[in-house]
Amino acid sequence: MAGVTAHETETLVIGGGQAGLAMAQQLIRRGRHCLVVDRNDRVGDAWRQRWDSLQLFTSNRYNGLPGMPFPGSRSSYPNKDEVADYLEAYAARFAVPIRTGVNVDRLSHRDSRFAAVAGDEVFLADAVVVATGAYRTPRVPDVAPELRSDITQLHSSGYRNPSQLRPGGVLVVGAGNSGAEIALELSRGTRVWLSGRDTGHEPTSRGTIPDRMMMPLMWFAATHVLTVGTPIGRRARDHFLHPPKGIPLGGIRPRGLAKAGIERVARVAGVREGRPVLADGTVLDVANVVWCTGFDPDLSWIDLQVILDDGYPRHDRGAITTEPGLYFIGLPFIRALSSALLGGVGRDAADIAARIDELLGSVRSTALR
């Protein structure tokens, strides 16, 4: 095609976060050729662009990718910039072939191969691993445009720190991990209301002695018990994903929110005279609203036979059975609850790499006959 530059590889990995890098490392380990493309300008930018005070709720002991432990004390909890720097160092250590600043617009077939179009470039591959996550478009309720123009509104994806907000009260909508963390930060300087259903919480608080004692058990459960291979794991998968629900709070307990003076309120039901109205009829006079309402599915760029269940691709341990050679990684319950966590993607990557190795080996041997 005139004006289009074509690149060829065995396996194309779309997305250069922790899932994509772990996937590439496992393919390289098997001697397979691969290429990672990522829409950000720098490895780790997906983490750098999150809010300034973000801290993981898993300690370093559980944050390493295959072949490289997370640096620092095993009992420390890294911040988002430390995660970003670790990913950049990981890519360098394993010489991961990665192209940054590449945004894939369309993934489809071209003859017998996959074709990923990115502007005036096309990447041809025998196998493709999607490591972008299924949810990439910020979700904002329909009532948002009805709020008064002098109310500052931010989605959690655009929130960085309290300096972005106006003086006055803040309504945080969405009581999952992001909403709870942001509400706690904002409560140190202003009045905060937290709206949204209770997603539950882990039994311990981040960094406490009970947390250090319980974490090995919780990690074992998230990795080996709550899996797609066990009845309890499948029930947990269906509970969390169909329809999608927030996972239990990992770093904060409800008593910590109450101690900080955060007022839990009913869900936002509408707008009256430009102000948010709660389901119980309360009208809140706030200066700011932070929407921690998650993300909508965005797999419209994949022009292939991918069946969606509540926005998640239907798969068999990451493999799309309706499209041989297409895989997903980095989503919850690829194999286990831990599949979407930093330290949980390695096992999935090893499994998918083995299947790609088998697939490409059979394709090659068939072509040689």
pLDDT tens per residue across span 60-69:
999 999 999 9
Pairwise pLDDT comparison (45 vs 4), residue with the higher score:
45
The residues, any chain, with a CB within 8 Å of residue 216's CB and separated by 6 or more, are none
Q: Specify the range with the lowest mean pLDDT, choosing from 212-216, 291-295, 323-327.
A: 212-216
Reply yes or no on whether the pLDDT at 246 is more than 90. no
With bands split at pLDDT 50, 70 and 90, how would you rate the model's confidence at 134?
low
* Long-range contacts from 246-249, C-beta under 8 angstroms, 24+ separation: 246/174, 246/175, 246/176, 246/177, 246/199, 246/294, 247/176, 247/177, 247/199, 247/332, 248/199, 248/200, 248/201, 248/202, 249/176, 249/177, 249/180, 249/199, 249/200, 249/201, 249/202
Residues 149, 129 share a domain: no
Domain boundary residue among 291, 321, 352? 291
pLDDT for residue 367: 43
Give the model confidence (pLDDT) of 325-365 as tens digits: 999 999 999 999 999 999 999 999 999 999 999 999 865 54
Residues 201, 110 share a domain: no
Name beta bridge partners: 241.
244
**Residues 129, 136: contact at Cβ < 8 Å?**
no
Domain boundary residue among 291, 308, 327? 291
Residues 301, 237 share a domain: no
User: How many degrees, rounded to 5, is the angle at CA 339 between CA 338 and CA 342?
Assistant: 80
With bands split at pLDDT 50, 70 and 90, how would you rate the model's confidence at 1?
low
Write down the pTM of the prediction: 0.91
Residues 167, 275 share a domain: yes
Domain boundary residue among 291, 321, 355? 291
Count of all residues that appear for the chain in the document: 369
Residues 328, 268 share a domain: no
Residues 154, 257 share a domain: yes
Give the model confidence (pLDDT) of 44-64 as tens digits: 999 999 999 999 989 999 999
Task: State the CATH number of the domain containing residue 306.
Answer: 3.50.50.60
Distance CA(55)–CA(77), nearest Å, equals 7
Residues 129, 170 share a domain: no
Residues 280, 322 share a domain: no
Q: Considering its fold, how many domains does the chain have in total?
A: 2
Within 12-117, residue ranges assigned H as helices are 18-29, 45-48, 80-93
Residues 81, 50 share a domain: yes
Residues 313, 274 share a domain: no
pLDDT for residue 199: 75
Residues 52, 106 share a domain: yes
With bands split at pLDDT 50, 70 and 90, how would you rate the model's confidence at 368?
very low
With bands split at pLDDT 50, 70 and 90, how would you rate the model's confidence at 24?
very high
Question: What integer best gives the mean pLDDT of the chain?
Answer: 91
Residues 130, 143 share a domain: no
Average pLDDT over residues 75-96: 97
Q: Which two tokens stand for residue 246?
A: 């927030």
Average pLDDT over residues 134-160: 91
Domain enclosing residue 348, as ranges = 5-136+297-368
